[in-house]
């Protein structure tokens, strides 16, 4: 009955035999055989040889439709000719400067033009770094020390925000409406944990109570409008509007982390919600596949950067290659490109949800844009509105089995059931994915 985990692991290990050998050979020098952790969903990672368009070609000789796209980065898929050409041109001019270059300013202009709340911007090397920089700006501006974040909100793995991002059911700390900060790793100093206030997604009364009680100390609330650290959690519009009004009233800055959600809309997901955060963090796709992060903000808040009260600097900040690739990527990402990505996502969501509900399967697909999540839940019609909901009501074994089965059947998935689309995907790719998902769900529930 169904598909067993052991059976899926066996098929996976046979199909990706070379990757398994690489893992065994390399683990003695690099723990886990690679520096990333989050892309792994099986007993070992699948090694990529190269990528082209919507596909990854693995060292095992397999072609997989890439549903990961480097955790939302590769919005144009792999090896896009416009990005490759932009990189060649930029490389021909040199590739490491302590001087400003035209590419950095062009990228800044594009982002300031597109995102209404972003009047000023600085670049970093990663979104993790940008998030920490945003906290520093918020602290510098408000003169307050604590930060508020959501349970299940992932903003990178640097010390100041590596707290309560991934608490799992085995270790949910504190009550659901007043979570206790829990470090995601050893090595986080106690004072960092003590300076963190943890909020619950979509529970305004609980957030209000906590923020009012800590208003004198809290510099900022950092959030993602659609979080994806543990499944996908969509913040409700009404909740976000109330939170925005509350932050303004209490003199707390709102930092909107659009590292992934800038995939949703030409003007950022914040424009769909109709909010203007004080600071916006960007990353991933704005580097066209090269490492980057950015902190944008209002002219008012940026005063503390302009007058050097808050100092931001980094050897590779605004790197010409990353900026050149980012400009090329965003030039391709016009409004029609966003619409195409969102249409493909809507088709997957609608077709699979209609089908699952006809079959009375406790299976759902959700997400606001081209980063979606599928979940095997405890009952048909289950809604997932908080991080704890996700882990309390989904069947983790079934998600894992489905990821392994996806890989065996020609798709490169993301653990936790997330998928991230790319522009080169065709209608046939989407049809194939929907059918494969149905086959796997049918087999799991058989
Ligand atoms: C919402 C969000 N913020 C920040 C980060 C950190 O980005 P980076 O890995 O580029 O440092 C991530 C990474 O997954 C993310 O999803």
Paired tokens of 363: 């299976």
Instruction: Report the C-alpha gap between 20 and 30 in whole angstroms.
Output: 14
Judged by average pLDDT, the poorest of 157-166, 207-216, 336-345 is: 157-166
Quick check: CB of 322 below 6 Å from ligand 1?
Answer: no
What distance in angstroms lies between residue 131's CA and the mean position of ligand 1's atoms? 8
Report the pLDDT averaged over residues 274-288.
98
Q: In the CATH hierarchy, which fold is given to the domain comprising 5-75+334-445?
A: 3.90.1150
Which of 39, 74, 130, 259 has most ligand 1 atoms within 8 Å of its beta carbon, as the pocket-test mutant? Answer: 259
pLDDT at residue 39 is higher than 80: no
pLDDT at residue 37 is higher than 90: no
pLDDT at residue 415 is higher than 90: no
pLDDT at residue 86 is higher than 70: yes
> Residue whose CA is closest, atom 13 of ligand 1?
156
What distance in angstroms lies between residue 283's CA and the mean position of ligand 1's atoms? 7
What distance in angstroms lies between residue 198's CA and the mean position of ligand 1's atoms? 19
Report the pLDDT averaged over residues 104-115.
98
Paired tokens of 334: 């016009």
What distance in angstroms lies between residue 154's CA and the mean position of ligand 1's atoms? 7
Per-residue model confidence (pLDDT) at position 169: 67
What distance in angstroms lies between residue 72's CA and the mean position of ligand 1's atoms? 10
Per-residue model confidence (pLDDT) at position 377: 96
Which of 71, 127, 226, 293 has most ligand 1 atoms within 8 Å of its beta carbon, as the pocket-test mutant? Answer: 127
Strand 226-227, strand 218-223: pairing: unpaired
Report the pLDDT averaged over residues 23-44.
84
Q: State which ligand 1 atom lies nearest to the alpha carbon of 229.
A: 16
For 282-317, what is each residue's pLDDT tens digit?
999 999 999 999 999 999 999 999 999 999 999 999
Return the domain boundaries, the chain.
5-75+334-445, 81-332
Which of 69, 72, 75, 128 has most ligand 1 atoms within 8 Å of its beta carbon, as the pocket-test mutant? Answer: 128
Quick check: CB of 154 below 6 Å from ligand 1?
Answer: yes
pLDDT at residue 251 is higher than 80: yes
Quick check: CB of 132 below 6 Å from ligand 1?
Answer: no
Q: For residue 60, give every residue at least 6 positions away whose Cβ sits within 8 Å of its Cβ, in sequence order, or none.
A: 15, 16, 17, 18, 19, 46, 47
Between residues 122 and 43, the one the model is more confident about: 122
pLDDT at residue 197 is higher than 70: yes
Quick check: CB of 62 below 6 Å from ligand 1?
Answer: no
Per-residue model confidence (pLDDT) at position 41: 76
Quick check: CB of 402 below 6 Å from ligand 1?
Answer: no
Instruction: Report the C-alpha gap between 118 and 77 in whole angstroms.
Output: 27
> Residue whose CA is closest, atom 3 of ligand 1?
155
For 368-400, what is each residue's pLDDT tens digit?
999 999 999 999 989 999 999 998 999 989 999
pLDDT at residue 340 is higher than 70: yes
Q: For residue 184, give every residue at least 6 positions away whose Cβ sits within 8 Å of its Cβ, in sequence order, or none.
A: 157, 162, 163, 164, 165, 166, 167
Judged by average pLDDT, the poorest of 167-176, 237-246, 294-303 is: 167-176
Quick check: CB of 260 below 6 Å from ligand 1?
Answer: yes
Residues annotated as catalytic (active site), given as ranges: 154, 257, 284
Between residues 38 and 80, the one the model is more confident about: 80
Per-residue model confidence (pLDDT) at position 38: 61
CA 408 to chain centre: 25
- For residue 37, give the 3-state DSSP assignment: coil
Contact assessment for residue 304 and residue 268, using Cβ atoms and an 8 Å cutoff: no
What is the rounded average pLDDT for all residues in the chain? 95
> How many CA atoms lie within 13 Å of 9's alpha carbon, on the beta-carbon side?
10
Quick check: CB of 286 below 6 Å from ligand 1?
Answer: no
> Residue whose CA is closest, atom 4 of ligand 1?
155
> Residue whose CA is closest, atom 15 of ligand 1?
155
Percent of the chain with pLDDT over 90: 90
Question: Using H for helix, E for strand and C for coil, what is the string for 334-374?
Answer: CHHHHHHHHHHHHHHHHHHHHHHHHHCCCEEEECCCCEEEE
The CATH number assigned to the domain with range 81-332 reads: 3.40.640.10
What distance in angstroms lies between residue 71's CA and the mean position of ligand 1's atoms? 9
- pLDDT band at residue 104 using 50, 70 and 90 as cut-offs: very high
Rounded to 10 degrees, what is the CA torsion of 342, 348, 350, 355? 180
């Amino acid at each position: 009955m169904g598909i067993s985990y052991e059976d899926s692991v066996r098929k996976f290990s046979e199909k990706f035999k070379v990757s398994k050998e690489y893992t065994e050979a390399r683990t003695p020098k690099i723990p886990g055989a690679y520096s990333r952790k989050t892309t792994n969903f099986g007993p070992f990672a699948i090694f990529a040889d190269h990528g082209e368009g919507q596909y990854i070609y693995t060292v095992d000789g397999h072609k997989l439709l890439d549903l990961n796209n480097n955790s939302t980065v590769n919005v144009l898929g792999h090896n896009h000719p416009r990005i490759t050409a932009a990189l060649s041109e930029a490389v021909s001019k040199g590739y490491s400067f302590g001087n400003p270059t035209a590419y950095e300013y062009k990228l800044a202009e594009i982002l300031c033009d597109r995102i209404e709340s972003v009047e000023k911007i600085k670049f970093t090397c990663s979104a993790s770094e940008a998030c920490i920089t945003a906290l520093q700006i918020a602290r510098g501006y408000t003169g307050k020390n604590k930060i508020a974040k959501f349970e299940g909100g992932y903003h990178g793995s640097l010390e100041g925000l590596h707290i309560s991002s991934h608490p799992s059911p085995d270790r949910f700390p504190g009550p659901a409406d007043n979570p206790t900060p829990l470090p995601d790793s050893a090595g986080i100093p106690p004072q960092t944990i003590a300076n963190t206030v943890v909020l619950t997604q979509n529970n305004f009364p609980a957030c209000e109570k906590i923020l009012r009680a800590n208003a004198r100390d809290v510099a900022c609330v950092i959030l993602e409008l659609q979080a994806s650290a543990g499944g996908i959690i969509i913040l409700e519009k009404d909740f976000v509007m109330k939170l925005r009004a509350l932050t303004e009233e209490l003199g707390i800055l709102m930092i909107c982390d659009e590292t992934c959600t800038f995939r949703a809309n030409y003007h950022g997901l914040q424009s769909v919600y109709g909010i203007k955060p004080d600071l916006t963090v960007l990353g991933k796709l704005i580097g066209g596949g090269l490492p980057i992060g950015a902190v944008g903000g209002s002219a008012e808040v940026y005063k503390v950067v302009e007058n050097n009260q808050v100092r931001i600097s980094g050897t590779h900040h605004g790197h010409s290659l990353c900026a050149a690739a980012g400009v090329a990527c965003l030039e391709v990402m016009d409004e029609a490109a966003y619409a195409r990505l969102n249409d493909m996502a809507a088709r997957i969501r609608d077709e699979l949800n209609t089908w699952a509900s006809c079959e009375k399967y406790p299976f759902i697909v959700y997400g606001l844009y081209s980063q979606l999540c599928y979940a095997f839940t405890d009952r048909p019609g289950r809604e997932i509105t908080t991080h704890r909901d996700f882990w309390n009501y989904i069947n983790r074994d079934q998600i894992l089995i489905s990821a392994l089965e996806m890989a065996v059947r020609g798709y490169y998935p993301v653990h936790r059931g997330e998928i991230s689309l790319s522009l080169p995907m065709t209608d046939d790719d989407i049809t194939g994915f929907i059918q494969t998902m149905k086959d796997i769900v049918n087999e799991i529930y058989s």
